[in-house]
Amino acid sequence: MSPDPSRPAPANHSAAEPGFLGRGPGFWLGLTFANTAAIVGLALSDAIESEGAYFVLLCVPLFTLAAMMISILRLNARGSGNCVPKGEAQRRYVKRVAVSTSLYLASFAALTLSDTFSDMPQALRFALALLPGLAVTGVFWAIARLIIEETDEFLRMLTIRQTLIASGFALSLASIWGFLESADLVVHVDAYWVAVAWFVGLVIGAAVNRIEHGTWGAV
């Protein structure tokens, strides 16, 4: 029996359901990079004079990154989304990254608030400064576990390619900037920006995978 053309087609609830606040992972990822670029631009132009304000502003892209992870988890739970990994190894990877990101947000906020307590013991301040770095290390560990646990050889190859491109990009940028800094041609940049460059390199690696193999990969 042919459908009645006068009746509206039923809505596709799977496609209409939002990832997070009505937006998918791509939106939150783009917003994260846009916010980070804006904050870096403000910092390099000396528009942000207070170090405390600088760290508070850095929380904005961290929250959008957390929103991206929530969006991925929700899409993954429904099995929808063109770029959302659906294998068991990818599901575990997303959960591990979500945990590490949450720990990073909490420890980073605690470290920022600790600046207001000048009489804080040195050992406690050392621990607070160490926690954000360990949380970022958790993300690296999650990616390593994904490579080990992934049973699909094609997806594993894409992940390895992506991480190699990210490593080459971050190390090259760090080397070039380091020599320019030693010649007093550029400003000093804290070492944790190498990790930020590595994550940017993951995006570049995903784009290369998309161009050469027609898919973004699982990271």
pLDDT of 12 = 45
Q: Is residue 173 part of a domain?
A: yes
% of the chain at pLDDT higher than 90: 25
Q: Is residue 191 part of a domain?
A: yes
Higher pLDDT: 148 or 54? It is 148
Higher pLDDT: 165 or 104? It is 165
Q: Is residue 187 part of a domain?
A: yes
pLDDT of 49 = 67
pLDDT winner (highest mean) among 29-43, 88-102, 142-156: 142-156
Tokens of 116: 């207001």
Q: Is residue 41 part of a domain?
A: no
Q: Is residue 60 part of a domain?
A: no
Using CA atoms, how far residue 172 sits from 15, 136, 148, 158, 176, in Å, is 41, 20, 26, 21, 6
Q: How far apart are alpha carbons 22 and 175 in whole angstroms?
A: 41
Over residues 118-131, the mean pLDDT reads: 84
Residue 16 has pLDDT above 50, yes or no: no
Q: Is residue 169 part of a domain?
A: yes
Q: How far apart are alpha carbons 79 and 42 in whole angstroms?
A: 40
Q: How far apart are alpha carbons 25 and 189 in whole angstroms?
A: 29
Confidence label for 137 from pLDDT (cuts 50, 70 and 90): very high
pLDDT of 133 = 92
Over residues 180-205, the mean pLDDT reads: 90
Residue 15 has pLDDT above 50, yes or no: no
Q: What is the pLDDT of residues 207-219, one digit of tens each?
A: 898 888 887 776 7
Helix ranges, the chain (H): 13-16, 25-44, 51-78, 88-114, 122-149, 153-182, 193-213
Q: Is residue 99 part of a domain?
A: no
The residue segments making up the domain with residue 188 are 152-219
Q: Is residue 10 part of a domain?
A: no
pLDDT of 7 = 46
* Average pLDDT over the chain, rounded to an integer: 79
Confidence label for 116 from pLDDT (cuts 50, 70 and 90): low
The torsion of the CA quartet 187, 113, 31, 203, rounded to 10 degrees, works out to 60
Least confident of 13-17, 113-117, 147-151, 210-214: 13-17
Q: What is the pLDDT of residues 21-74, one digit of tens each?
A: 778 777 887 887 787 778 777 766 777 666 667 667 777 777 777 777 677 667
Name all contacts of 54-58 with Cβ < 8 Å and 24+ positions apart: 55/108, 55/111, 55/112, 55/115, 56/112, 58/108
Q: How many domains does the chain have?
A: 1
